[in-house]
Amino acid sequence: MGNFSVKMGPGLVSAIMPISYVVLVNCFDYGGNDRNDPKSIRKRWKGALFSNIISIVATAYFLQDYTPTPFREMGFRWDEMAKAISFPFILMNGFYLGQFVMMYIDRTLWHYFDYYEWKMCFRSWAWRRDIIVGPITEELVFRACSTTLMYHVYGYKFTLFWNPVPFAASHFHHIWDDQRKGYSLAHSILQRGFQFVYTYIFGCFATYLQLITKHAMVPIIAHTICNAQGLPMWLEIANYPKRRDRIALYTAYIAGFAGFGYLLYTQQGMPSPN
């Protein structure tokens, strides 16, 4: 009973952190009508930052019972930073190899090398939220804090499969945003239910990266690239009229997934957790 009560405190905190992130973000934007409105985005950033501070302090406090270096255990370290950036960058861009080939065929790949395209992106509040602020603030709470603390309380397997649940479920609050935009309740639930599935899968993947590298930068980079690319578009291949294009796309997607699996399995170039 005593051991259970000792675990209950930090275990409960690790489960509540993801929920508190969503609650605080929405509380700071109370009364907002559009999450893409620049004013709402700025308010939500303040809520996310406040959540980060609370989560980091709480995690560091409870981790003192498990490790003498709580901040390093959360992944806040400068060593092996080059690997922490390059490994997820190569890993995720390999995963999306088919996407890049698709963009080349569609003649849209040049956007990545256009100065004005990048200038427009950085001027967009929604882009900065999705590609910079969102991945950083979410991964700090969900992975660096919640995952790390839950792992020390409940172990590897429990954390790997249960920690992503609140992360995935946190996207259900978008149902209210959808309702305000005029979508039906059934459409909103179906759309966010599908989002729950693929965000849960990504959550397991990001949790795995956090646990085996103990470097906060790794899941942040992976999250950023996933937000930038979205879901793989292999179902679109059938719409390409030219046979050679379809063959090239299928080959690229298969090669990319194979390379992704190889790197993840061999862990080549991955930062060490020590």
Tens of pLDDT, residue by residue over 97-120, are 999 999 999 999 999 999 999 999
Calculate what percentage of the chain has a pLDDT beyond 70: 93
Determine the average pLDDT of the residues in 88-101: 96
Are the CB atoms for 214 and 273 separated by under 8 Å? yes
Calculate what percentage of the chain has a pLDDT beyond 90: 73
Regarding pTM above 0.85, the answer is yes
Question: Of 73, 80, 117, 138, which is the active-site residue?
Answer: 138
Please, where are the H alpha helices in 124-216?
125-128, 134-139, 148-154, 156-162, 164-169, 174-180, 185-213
Q: Count the domains in the chain.
A: 1
Q: Is residue 129 part of a domain?
A: yes
Higher model confidence: residue 36 or residue 6?
36
Q: Is residue 273 part of a domain?
A: no
Q: Is the pLDDT of residue 208 over 70?
A: yes
Q: In degrees rounded to 5, what are phi and psi of residue 184?
A: -70, 160
Q: What pLDDT, in 10s, does the model give residues 134-164?
A: 999 999 999 999 999 999 999 999 999 999 9
Rounded distance between C-alpha atoms, residue 128 and residue 135, angstroms: 10
Are the CB atoms for 143 and 207 separated by under 8 Å? yes
Q: Is the pLDDT of residue 89 over 70?
A: yes
Q: Is the pLDDT of residue 197 over 60?
A: yes
**236 belongs to the catalytic site:** no
Q: Is residue 229 part of a domain?
A: yes
Q: Is residue 272 part of a domain?
A: no
What b/e sequence results for 213-248 when a residue is b if at least 16 CB atoms lie within 10 Å of its CB, and e otherwise?
bbbbbbbbbbbbbbbebeebbbeebeebeeeeeeeb
Task: Please report where in the chains the tokens 């308010």 appear, as a residue.
Answer: 43
The residue range of the domain holding 17 is 1-266
Q: Is residue 228 part of a domain?
A: yes
Rounded distance between C-alpha atoms, residue 107 and residue 126, angstroms: 25
Question: Of 73, 80, 117, 171, which is the active-site residue?
Answer: 171
Q: Is residue 271 part of a domain?
A: no
Determine the average pLDDT of the residues in 46-59: 96
Q: Is residue 208 part of a domain?
A: yes
User: What integer best gives the mean pLDDT of the chain?
Assistant: 90
**171 belongs to the catalytic site:** yes
Rounded distance between C-alpha atoms, residue 127 and residue 116, angstroms: 14
